[in-house]
């Protein structure tokens, strides 16, 4: 917070002509698709948490999500698989007792699939299974 205040203070000391040139660069509008993806990620992940972390655990969620990506997300699965493989074989020591690591993997996989694929996952694995 202090660095932001410091930057704004310094900008406020500049002449108005220079401020008029700098200010537009500080307000970069994000693409609508990205903003929708972020909202979808948060809302849909809360649905996952409410179902999987109450009924099951993060290991079941990881397994279901991984097989969903393998079966349904053909375009993204090569990228998804490579990321999973590199995380599992990387410097991080993988063990099934590491719930934090599995939770991280779930969040990475969830972020790699599109909002429509997330909806399909929720429909296939949560709504249809009840």
Q: Is the pLDDT of residue 96 over 50?
A: no
pLDDT at 95: 47
Q: Is the pLDDT of residue 78 over 70?
A: no
Say what the pTM is: 0.63
Q: Is the pLDDT of residue 105 over 70?
A: yes
Q: Is the model more confident about 93 or about 51?
A: 51
Domain-wise residue ranges, the chain: 1-29, 31-127
Element (H, E) at 9: helix 2-13
Query: Distance (Å, rounded) from C-alpha 24 to C-alpha 4?
Result: 16
Query: Distance (Å, rounded) from C-alpha 49 to C-alpha 56?
Result: 10
Q: pLDDT band for 92, please (50, 70, 90 cuts).
A: very low
Q: What is the mean pLDDT of residues 34-56?
A: 89
pLDDT at 45: 93
pLDDT at 94: 45
Cα 124 versus chain centre, distance: 20
pLDDT at 85: 60
Q: pLDDT band for 46, please (50, 70, 90 cuts).
A: very high
Residue 31, helix vs strand vs coil: coil
- Give DSSP secondary structure letters for 54-81: HHS-HHHHHHHHHHHHHHH-HHHHHHHH
pLDDT at 91: 44
């Amino acid at each position: 917070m202090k660095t932001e205040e410091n930057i704004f203070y310094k900008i406020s000391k500049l002449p108005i002509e220079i401020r008029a040139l700098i200010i537009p660069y500080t307000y970069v509008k994000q693409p609508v698709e990205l903003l929708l993806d972020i909202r979808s990620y948060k809302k849909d992940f809360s649905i996952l948490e409410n179902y999987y972390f109450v009924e099951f655990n993060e290991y079941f969620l990881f397994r279901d999500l991984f097989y969903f990506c393998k079966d349904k997300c053909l375009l993204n699965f090569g990228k998804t698989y490579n990321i999973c493989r590199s995380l599992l074989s990387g410097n991080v020591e993988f063990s099934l007792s590491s719930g934090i690591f599995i939770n991280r993997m779930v969040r990475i996989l969830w972020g790699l699939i599109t909002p429509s694929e997330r909806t399909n996952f929720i429909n296939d694995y949560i709504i249809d299974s009840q």
